[in-house]
Amino acid sequence: MKEPIIQFKNFSFKYESQVEHTLEKINLSIYEGEKIVIVGPSGSGKSTLAHCLNGLVPFSYRGEVEGSLTIKGHDTSTLDIFTISKMVGTVLQDPDGQFIGLSVAEDIAFALENEAIPQEEMVRQVTDVSKLVDLENKIQSSIHELSGGQKQRVSLAGVIVEEVDILLFDEPLANLDPATGKHAMALIDQIQKETKTTVVIIEHRLEDVLSQDVDRIIVVDEGRIVSDMSPNELLASDILESCHLREPLYVKALKYAGCNVTPDMHPESIESLAIEQCRDKLSEWYESTDSVKQEKKNSPILELRDINFEYHKGIKTLQNVTLTIHQGEMVSIVGRNGAGKSTLSKIIGGFEKIKSGSIFYKGEDITEDTIFERSNRIGIVMQNPNHMVSKHMIYDEVALGLVMRGVPEEEIKKRVEETLKVCGLYAFRNWPISALSFGQKKRVTIASILVLQPEVLILDEPTAGQDLRHYTEIMEFLTQLNSQGVTILMITHDMHLMLEYTPRAIAIDDGRVIADHSAAHILTNISIVEMTNLKVTSLFELAQKAGMDQPIEFVTRFIEYDKEARLTWRKNY
Amino acid sequence: MKNLSIRTIVAIGIGAAVFLILAKFVAIPTGIPNTTVQTAYAFLALMAVVFGPIAGALIGFIGHTLNDALSYGSVWWSWVFVSLFVGLFVGLLGKRINVENGEFGTKQIISFNLVQAVVQAIGWFVLAPLLDILIYAEPANKVFVQGLFAGISNIITVGIIGTILLVAYAKTRTKSNSLTKE
Amino acid sequence: MAQELLSYIERKSPVHSLSGATKLIIFILYSTAAMLTYDTRVLLALLVISIVIFVMSKIRIREIGFILVFILAFLLLNNIAIYIFSPQEGVKIYGSSHVLFELAGRYNITWEQLFYQFNITLKYFVVIPAALLFVVTTHPSEFAASLNKIGVNYKIAYSVSLALRYIPDIQRDFKTIAKAQQARGIDISKNQKLWKRIKNISSIILPLIFSTLDRIEVISNAMELRRFGKKKKRTWYKEKPFRKADYIVLISGLFILVVSLLITFYDGSRFYNPF
């Protein structure tokens, strides 16, 4: 029997500032050369588990440890963080924080510099590893010249530039669009094969992780290990659903259709899936569901006409953008990093001045209006709530915009309380914002904009980094607002969000609108999917594999059905 | 110096960058040449109290030097030195104000403001002009008047904005386990 | 980043190819010399050297034009201020008064005052090219290594590198925050009264500070996990080793400092008195 390279024995951990244990009696063995995925909802303890592995717990985050953790046969309580980090290399979630060097080469060399490796040796090693991650042409670039995927490859290179036994990835897909995520997983796989390391991946986007083979998936919930099995076994079980984790969509579809998913069907990927015995059930289910009729909206609220914009002379960020948004619509704007999506929202909000073109709000030309004037009609919610929060208490934060407008106190109180109720924050109105979760904070920032009663709401990546439960919460909340008449525009590269919530999607590439259609059509159109760095949804592939005549219609019906199902699921939660 | 923690080193680096951005973009002109309401010093005071005297001194020194060098292509050393001095002594004397446990009430506000006012008064009213005369041989009455205005505006700025920042910071340090939904 | 801050300008020139440490030492020696002396002859000589080095660096004036405008405006204001506050400073220093013409009261124009202010301005013209050149010809990557080489503790040297790395990020954050808050009605423009502006500004600084504190946490962890601070020493990927040219430049720099100080203090005063 092989020796485990990592072994948790009755391991418990409690943060100094908390009352409850974050990890409770963890028993887990990981063997040399394995590739393990750890999944779990937010707050399940999966990040703490990662911090225990790389030594940040207990060296940076203090607390009480019980039981033991051994890495390569050494009890970690006898080691310091420097020794642990020699064995376990960590790629952190936030590439902007991990990238500390002024250029790619320096960042890769960082660990070598700290070991006082002579310069010549360093240059050689950096060159080698930059070839391995396919960055040898970018070695002199600064972080600002790199895409999200490239930044992550730098982080990875900075870790594998030294020999480590274990590679730990903390939510490697969190900041990547679907296509880049897929490349990242392939690269991790390749690196593992070339360097023969053990790989541990913490992630909650399971379908994306499974684009490459993994040996085992560990499910963590409420500080305990809920299951530890192969992907095929896990996907055949109902553990993911009971832990509020998102199953791969094709698996979900099979289950809805009443198929008995078994491990020997190889559900771990759509390619390996044996679908024969499910064909009939799938088409039966398809016939039994109704097609969805989208009512056409036709009362323009926001019109962009021939917009051109550039940050730097000669480099066009937006080119001849023309589009119309109708009252009561919910639209997603998609495109790869740097395609111009965020710029578009800044233009609409008046944060940046356009070079030519015009913007109309309900037929009125608002091109020359200031940020402030526009903010009464169009509200913009930033991606990072920390960029907006400036008050200590929730009530004050939400009231801020009204106070600044000189609204009488009575009225402020009324409007703030109403808004807080709508946002499900009324019970917390006297809480400090710092006590809230990320998702709740996000809602506070939405509330602080909503209170100004804009008719159009633009959100930048509203669900980035949220697990399924918080994701559903935020999106249901937005849907509710939408049904009350607020027009909603979302910038996103979350394919689920597009499919499930926005009947219409606008794809942007290179500053131009390249498609304006239903989300299901966009996510099944290979050329648009490629240009926007998205992926063809696995539902479409499933429908094709099952030989459906109308795969796009299949996708649409699944989404409708799933939304209903998840609504009941949330109510029961 | 050798035992500086990584967190302090990072605080110095990032703090210096923020100091520069604030000094460059968030300065309100008062109408006297070379004298603006410098929000950067309110930030400096906060960092000095939170991260200690060495961090304070170096954030002031590095932030001010970089700002001078990158914005004006030359460094006005006499005032850079005052930034270092303010960061150092607000950090030293502010150590007793324990913001980390979330307490920043009237008593702390008064002692913080006493500290910052005294330190800045020495820095701007005395040190800056003396160094200006010594290094740049500028006329005494000019530099004393400049120092006076810079000092007064900075003491007021730190008094208002610095206090707001510290109060806000201290609030985030309060334990939040006593909260209930209403 | 927009052209608001000076930054490195890539070029092939003898000045660029010097080690950053050499340039840093020269910059310090040169600034010291220029700061201590008021001797017009020394200043003029230094100015000539400055201009020669500037030409050698192949940096063009228009590349740094936006900074020069700033500097000239500042010098003009400073000169006016000096005259308003102390129109007789020159007379005091040089001990004589050659009146050119009278204005009102003590506000006359003397040769001494003109000469004194000429010297002050000259001093700036001597120092500015040195500082400017140091900034635009030294790659930021090399900066920390250079500081470490001249004896600054490597941890502190690295914090300078961190500052340079994160200035653009923080500037971008700041702009985002400012715009987002303006959309909520927080006005920090001139339309507001000073007091109100100061208060509104804290609504913009606070989110910046809290995201900064978060950032410090993330970066500290990233550095710790890659063992920053483990050893007493550290090597630098971008360090440029000293070559013959560096030694020659250093020795000449030292020579210039000594000579200029000797000339300056030879007659016991920092000022050269032609009167």
Check CB contact of A298 with chain C, cutoff 8 Å: no
Q: Phi, psi (5° rounding) for residue A61?
A: -105, 110
CA distance C73 to C66: 11
Q: Which residues pair with A7 in a beta bridge?
A: A29, A70
Residue C1, pLDDT score: 35
Position A66 pLDDT exceeds 80: yes
**Best CA proximity match to C218, nearest among A64, A61, A165:** A61
Position A437 pLDDT exceeds 60: yes
| C201 → chain B, closest CA residue | B26
**Best CA proximity match to A365, nearest among A457, A309, A318, A303:** A303
CA distance A460 to A475: 13
Check CB contact of A17 with chain B, cutoff 8 Å: yes
Say whether B176 and A434 touch across the interface (CB within 8 A). Answer: yes
CA distance A350 to A388: 17
Coil/strand/helix, residue C104: strand
Which pLDDT band, with edges at 50, 70 and 90, does B34 fall under? low
CA distance B145 to B125: 8
Check CB contact of C122 with chain B, cutoff 8 Å: no
Average pLDDT of the segment spanning A327-347:
90
Residues 6+ apart with CB under 8 A from A124: none
Please name the residue that has the structure tokens 């290979």.
A526
CA distance B37 to C194: 10
> Long-range contact list for B20-24, CB < 8 A, 24+ apart?
B20/B63, B20/B66, B20/B67, B20/B70, B20/C163, B20/C167, B21/C167, B21/C170, B21/C171, B21/C174, B21/C208, B22/C205, B23/B63, B23/B64, B23/B67, B24/B67, B24/B71, B24/C4, B24/C5
Selecting from C38, C134, C159 the residue whose C-beta is nearest the C-beta of B137 gives: C38
| B169 → chain A, closest CA residue | A392
Residue A413, pLDDT score: 94
**Best CA proximity match to C2, nearest among A116, A212, B140, A352:** A352
- Listed ranges A544-548, A562-566, C94-98; the one with the highest mean pLDDT: A544-548
Q: What domains can be seen in chain A, in order of their start residue?
A: 4-244 (3.40.50.300), 248-288+537-573 (no CATH), 300-536 (3.40.50.300)
- pTM, whole model, 2 decimals? 0.92
Position B175 pLDDT exceeds 60: no
Say whether B182 and A427 touch across the interface (CB within 8 A). Answer: yes
Mutation for testing the B interface, residue in C209, C228, C271 having most B CBs under 10 Å: C209
Position A465 pLDDT exceeds 80: no
Residue C123, pLDDT score: 86
| A391 → chain B, closest CA residue | B168
Selecting from B13, B46, B138 the residue whose C-beta is nearest the C-beta of C162 gives: B13
Percent of chain A with pLDDT strictly greater than 90: 58
CATH of domain B6-172: 1.10.1760.20
Contact predicate C264/A133, CB 8 Å: no
A378: enclosing H helix or E strand: strand A378-381
Contact predicate C8/C164, CB 8 Å: no
Amino acid letter for position B158: V
Average pLDDT of the segment spanning A36-48:
89
C109: enclosing H helix or E strand: strand C107-110
**HSE-up (13 A, CA, CB side) for residue A334:** 33
For chains A and B, count residue pairs whose Cβ atoms are closer than 8 Å: 21
Check CB contact of A430 with chain B, cutoff 8 Å: yes
Please name the residue that has the structure tokens 């109510």.
A571
**Best CA proximity match to B125, nearest among B104, B162, B154:** B154
Q: Which chains touch A (3 or more CB pairs under 8 A)?
A: B, C
**Integer CA distances (angstroms), B134 to A422, B78, B128, C114, C257, in order:** 65, 9, 10, 20, 18
CA distance A377 to A457: 9
Residue A344, pLDDT score: 92
Check CB contact of A386 with chain C, cutoff 8 Å: yes
B76's tokens: 């006005």
Check CB contact of C216 with chain B, cutoff 8 Å: yes
Range in A121-135, B19-33, C109-123 the model is least confident about = B19-33
CA distance C216 to C247: 39
Q: Which chains touch C (3 or more CB pairs under 8 A)?
A: A, B
Q: Phi, psi (5° rounding) for residue A316?
A: -80, 120
Mutation for testing the C interface, residue in A102, A108, A347 having most C CBs under 10 Å: A102
Summarised one tens digit per residue, pLDDT across range B98-152 is 787 777 888 889 999 999 999 999 999 999 999 988 888 888 988 999 899 889 9
Position B10 pLDDT exceeds 80: yes
A430: chain B residues, CB-CB within 8 Å: 182
**Best CA proximity match to A559, nearest among A487, A498, A474, A472:** A498
DSSP conformation class of A525: -
Say whether A432 and B171 touch across the interface (CB within 8 A). Answer: yes
CB atoms within 10 A of CB C143: 25
Coil/strand/helix, residue C111: helix
Q: Between helices B53-72 and B6-25, what is the axis angle to 10°? A: 40
Contact predicate A384/C207, CB 8 Å: no
**Best CA proximity match to A405, nearest among C183, C215, B112, B67:** C183
Average pLDDT of the segment spanning A523-531:
90
A399: chain C residues, CB-CB within 8 Å: none
Which pLDDT band, with edges at 50, 70 and 90, does A570 fall under? low
Question: Exposed, middle or buried: residue A234 (CB in 10 Å: 0-12, 13-18, 19+)?
Answer: buried
CA distance C101 to C111: 10
Average pLDDT of the segment spanning A136-158:
91
Check CB contact of A59 with chain C, cutoff 8 Å: yes
Mutation for testing the B interface, residue in A98, A391, A431, A441 having most B CBs under 10 Å: A431
Pairing of strands A300-312, A23-31: unpaired
Selecting from C85, C131, C160 the residue whose C-beta is nearest the C-beta of B13 gives: C160
Contact predicate A356/C147, CB 8 Å: no
Residue B81, pLDDT score: 94
**Best CA proximity match to C271, nearest among C130, C89, C80:** C89
Say whether C64 and B73 touch across the interface (CB within 8 A). Answer: yes
Check CB contact of C91 with chain B, cutoff 8 Å: no
Summarised one tens digit per residue, pLDDT across range A160-199 is 999 899 999 998 988 888 899 999 999 999 999 988 999 9
Sheet holding A63-71, edge to edge: A23-31, A4-15, A63-71, A74-75
Sheet holding A456-460, edge to edge: A378-381, A456-460, A487-491, A330-334, A504-509, A512-518
Coil/strand/helix, residue B153: helix
**Best CA proximity match to A179, nearest among A502, A553, A528:** A528
Q: Which residues pair with A516 in a beta bridge?
A: A506
Position C3 pLDDT exceeds 80: no
Q: How far is A513 from chain C (nearest CA, A)?
A: 24
CA distance A55 to A18: 19
Q: How far is A207 from chain C (nearest CA, A)?
A: 28
Position A28 pLDDT exceeds 90: yes
Residue A571, pLDDT score: 64
For chains B and C, count residue pairs whose Cβ atoms are closer than 8 Å: 185
Pairing of strands A216-221, A198-202: unpaired
Contact predicate B73/C67, CB 8 Å: yes
Question: Exposed, middle or buried: residue A80 (CB in 10 Å: 0-12, 13-18, 19+)?
Answer: exposed
Q: Which residue has the higher pLDDT, C78 or C266?
A: C78
Please determine, for the modelled complex, whether the ipTM score is greater than 0.85: yes
Amino acid letter for position A474: I
Q: Which residues pair with A378 in a beta bridge?
A: A456
SS3 labels along A416-438: HHHHHHHCCCHHHCCCEHHHCCH
Kindly provide the b/e burial profile for residues A346-372, where b requires at least 16 CB atoms within 10 angstroms of the residue's own CB.
bbbbbbbebeebebbbeeeebbebebb
Q: How far is C190 from chain B (nearest CA, A)?
A: 9
C208's tokens: 């910046």
CA distance A42 to C175: 30
A356's tokens: 């030519």
